[in-house]
Structure 1
Amino acid sequence: MANNLLKGKRGIIFGALDERSIAWKVAEVAKAEGAIFTLTNAPIAMRMGEINKLAEACDSEIIPADATSIEDLENLFSKSVEILGGKIDFVLHSIGMSPNVRKGRDYGDLNYDWLTKTLDVSAISFHKVMQTAEKLDAMNEWGSILGLSYIAAQRTFPDYSDMAHAKAMLESIARSYGERYARLKKVRVNTISQSPTMTTAGTGVGGFDVFYSYADQMSPLGNASALDCANYCAMMFSDYTKMVTMQNLMHDGGFSSSGITDRLIEQLKKD
């Protein structure tokens, strides 16, 4: 049920690929809550996805941008301000990609050029987004910027490989740029550490189905869905969270605070 949480707010949403994407759900929720926004993705991701369908449903314009390109980001922010009729109130960075994971490269045999690409796309782009927004003075005061993270930034998970390092860097950038942006413009910067989620990107990680089931049994509330995450993002974009910044916010049904649960014990007994 919509509550007009984002009425009058303008935003930019990165990373909507298809209907399973968290960014896709965020766009749908933001629209229902009264926001207007532009959608963006890398040209190759746009060819793979269905973003035109989302843009039509949300009455939003698409501005292609490679988030690792300063030139593309400058164009994205400038055009978004023009199209939306004012400065930006919220940004969602929902971007992650690892060639090493995608191509099944073992963690003890990483291709370091691919590692550099992983860090640039999945983490450094977050800094580039905020640096560009700051230099263009494109954010309104009390704006909200979110990056999507994962608990592998703090714990080891087989097969997540170099993406774990990218998420750790993402969270570090959120803290450092969050301090800066708070001082300069009262803009808040946070990351949300989401449950394993049945997205196109998530299911591309080896052994995902098994881990999804494990996490669900380890979480007292179960795994948080993409829609649950979208609702949380909407709250973080709203004025109700204007004093929350520089945080990594766990959105995982209690997984990160659980030692073991009755559900998992029962399953292990069966095994």
Structure 2
Amino acid sequence: MAYNLLKGKRGIISGALDENSIAWKVAEKAHEEGATFVLTNAPIAMRMGEINKLAEATGSQIIPADATSVEDLENLFTKSQEILGGKVDFVLHSIGMSVNIRKKIPYTESNYEFFQKGIDVSALSFHKMLAVAKKLDAINEWGSVVALTYMAAQRTYPFYTDMADIKAMLESIARSFGYHYGVDKKVRINTVSQSPTKTTAGSGIKGFGDFFDYANAIAPLGNATAEDCANYCITLFSDLTKMVTMQNLFHDGGYSTTGVSSEVLSKFGIE
């Protein structure tokens, strides 16, 4: 059911790779709720994904952009306003990559060039995106920016290696930039800490399947799906949450505040 929560709103959605990705679901939901938007991703990711199919289904245009390039981001925000007919009201940052994880390098043996690449792609890109938007005055007052994160920024998950540190930086940028953008333009900035989700990126992490099942057994409501996350992001883009900013919002079925569940204890023979 649609509620017209984003009727008349314009936006930019990054990171839609395929129909399993959260950004893809956000785009579908934003379209259902009446928004118009542009889609963006790195050129290499676009070659790997099916973004053209999403653009056709949502009546959207695609602007390729390397989120680590200020020049590309300036082009993204400038062209988006031309295409959409004005400033944007919402932006989704759904960008994450760790070369160390891809190459299965242990955290204590991290390759620092790979580490820095991960920081640039997954965290600094958020700062660059916000800085460009602010410089160009590209987001309307009371606009909303959301970045996707994971609770490894707060707790240690050995398999998440350097991405844990990178997500912590991402969340800090949301708080720090959220203050300045809020004071100057009333733009709100939040991060959503999502459950383990069976996306292309998530499934590439070693042991992801076992951990997905573990988190599902801990969370009272079970793991939140990509579609659930999209619904939550839509509420954050809407005017219903206009006073929410600088927050890291857990969207994980209660996992983050549950110590242990009866289901997990039963696996150890504890009643």
Give TM class, smaller chain: over 0.9
In 2: Cα distance, 1:171 partner to 1:192 partner: 9
SS of the aligned residue for 1:4 comes to coil
In 1: Cα distance, 2:75 partner to 2:54 partner: 21
In 2: Cα distance, 1:141 partner to 1:268 partner: 53
Hey, what does 1:213 align to over in structure 2? 213
SS of the aligned residue for 1:269 comes to coil
In 1: Cα distance, 2:184 partner to 2:10 partner: 20
In 1: Cα distance, 2:21 partner to 2:196 partner: 12
Amino acid at match of 2:230: A
**Does residue 266 of structure 1 match 2:266?**
yes
Q: How many residues align?
A: 270
Which runs of structure 2 are paired with 1:103-142 in the superposition (5 Å)? 103-142=103-142
Hey, what does 1:58 align to over in structure 2? 58
In 2: Cα distance, 1:267 partner to 1:213 partner: 13
Hey, what does 2:180 align to over in structure 1? 180
Structure 1 residue 268: Cα displacement: 3.0
SS of the aligned residue for 2:5 comes to coil
Taking only aligned residues, the RMSD between alpha carbons, in angstroms, comes to: 0.7
Structure 1 residue 116: Cα displacement: 0.3
Hey, what does 1:48 align to over in structure 2? 48
In 1: Cα distance, 2:41 partner to 2:16 partner: 7
TM (norm. structure 1) is: 0.99
In 2: Cα distance, 1:216 partner to 1:99 partner: 27
Which runs of structure 2 are paired with 1:6-155 in the superposition (5 Å)? 6-155=6-155
Hey, what does 1:191 align to over in structure 2? 191
Runs of 5+ consecutive residues of structure 2 not aligned to the other structure: none
**Runs of 4+ off more than 4 Å:** none
Per-residue CA distance 1:141-185 (angstroms, 9 max, x = gap): 000000000000000101100000110000000000000000000
SS of the aligned residue for 1:162 comes to helix
In 1: Cα distance, 2:54 partner to 2:267 partner: 40
Hey, what does 2:156 align to over in structure 1? 156
In 2: Cα distance, 1:28 partner to 1:267 partner: 39
Hey, what does 1:225 align to over in structure 2? 225
Per-residue CA distance 1:163-217 (angstroms, 9 max, x = gap): 0011000000000000000000000000000000000000000000000000000
Per-residue CA distance 1:51-94 (angstroms, 9 max, x = gap): 00000000000000000000000000000000000101000000
Structure 1 residue 28: Cα displacement: 0.2
SS of the aligned residue for 2:73 comes to helix
**Does residue 257 of structure 1 match 2:221?**
no
Amino acid at match of 2:189: V
Structure 1 residue 269: Cα displacement: 2.5
SS of the aligned residue for 1:160 comes to helix
State the identity %. Answer: 68
In 1: Cα distance, 2:5 partner to 2:261 partner: 35
